[in-house]
């Protein structure tokens, strides 16, 4: 049963994990609890192997991501589609792509600021030593988005309906106080030491469950 949660809720979480293992031959599933600000690693027996604190989307309503720019983190079952590492061979795409991201200087005036300091630039190395890309938006996300568009719940920008969004990842950071807080544009962030430790449990195809609980 899940650490930190018991009873019916705990069994439901384990059931979700077991469903995520179907069709996946790996050893671990990641479970992100938005309510607990924790990422759990589960094995195939439904037991927690380890856990880490996380931060996620800064939108205070904490609802699932619906469209681009809403600063929400999605909810559902996803898969890791790309693993990037600053410790990979420097000739590989896994290194080059993350280095390119970390070399970008992110400015507060563009919405990239240190936690609790809206005038302080995030700067470089904002993604830390690892980045795990997940497959948001999935089919369910697209269905929810299309329904929201029909109901007029997605804002218009320059006469066009805002898109569904993309680029949701689990990554490190250069702003440790942001972990454990509502602090990102939608990604899930971890301490750099923790995301390095998490890497051994992650491969392309690893299921990632993101839950409101």
Say how far apart CA 132 and CA 45 lie, in whole Å: 24
Query: What pLDDT digit, counting tens, does each position of 66-104 carry?
Result: 999 999 999 999 999 999 999 999 999 999 999 999 999
Q: With 50 as the cut, is the pLDDT of residue 62 above it?
A: yes
Break the chain into its structural domains and give their ranges: 54-205
User: How much is the pLDDT for 3?
Assistant: 53
198 sits in which H/E element? helix 192-198
Q: Are 31 and 40 in contact (CB under 8 A)?
A: yes
Query: What pLDDT digit, counting tens, does each position of 142-175 carry?
Result: 999 999 999 999 999 999 999 999 999 999 999 9
Q: With 90 as the cut, is the pLDDT of residue 7 above it?
A: no
Average pLDDT estimate for 190-204: 98
Say how far apart CA 202 and CA 207 lie, in whole Å: 9
Q: Which CATH class is domain 54-205?
A: mainly beta
User: How much is the pLDDT for 91?
Assistant: 98
Higher pLDDT pick, 5 / 44: 44
Say how far apart CA 141 and CA 138 lie, in whole Å: 5
Q: Are 24 and 155 in contact (CB under 8 A)?
A: no
Looking at every residue in the chain, the average pLDDT score rounds to: 95
**pTM (2 d.p.):** 0.94
Average pLDDT estimate for 19-31: 97
User: How much is the pLDDT for 5?
Assistant: 53
DSSP letter string, 98-156: HHHHHHS-B-GGGT-EETTEEEEE-BS-TTTTEEEEE--S-HHHHHHHHHHHHTT-S-E
State the pLDDT confidence band at 4, using cuts at 50, 70 and 90: very low
User: How much is the pLDDT for 1?
Assistant: 42
DSSP letter string, 2-27: -TT--HHHHHHHHHHHHHHHTT--SS
Q: With 80 as the cut, is the pLDDT of residue 201 above it?
A: yes
User: How much is the pLDDT for 116?
Assistant: 95
């Amino acid at each position: 049963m899940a650490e930190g949660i018991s009873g019916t809720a705990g069994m439901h979480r384990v059931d979700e994990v077991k469903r995520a293992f179907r069709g996946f031959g790996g050893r671990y599933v990641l479970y992100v609890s938005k309510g607990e600000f924790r990422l759990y690693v589960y094995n195939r027996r439904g037991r927690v192997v380890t856990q880490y604190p996380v931060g996620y989307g800064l939108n205070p309503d904490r609802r699932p991501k619906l469209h681009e720019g809403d600063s929400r983190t999605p909810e559902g079952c996803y898969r890791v589609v790309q693993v990037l590492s600053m410790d990979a061979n420097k000739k590989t795409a896994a290194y080059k792509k993350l280095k390119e991201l970390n070399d970008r200087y992110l400015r507060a005036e563009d919405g990239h600021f240190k936690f609790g300091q809206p005038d302080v630039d995030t700067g470089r190395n904002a993604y830390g030593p690892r980045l795990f890309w997940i497959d948001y938006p999935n089919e369910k996300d697209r269905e929810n988005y299309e329904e929201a568009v029909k109901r007029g719940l997605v804002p218009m920008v320059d006469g066009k309906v805002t898109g569904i969004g993309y680029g949701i990842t689990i990554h490190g950071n250069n702003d440790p106080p942001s972990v454990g807080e509502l602090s990102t544009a939608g990604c899930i962030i971890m301490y750099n030491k923790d995301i390095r430790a998490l890497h051994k449990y992650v491969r392309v195809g690893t299921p990632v469950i993101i839950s409101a609980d």
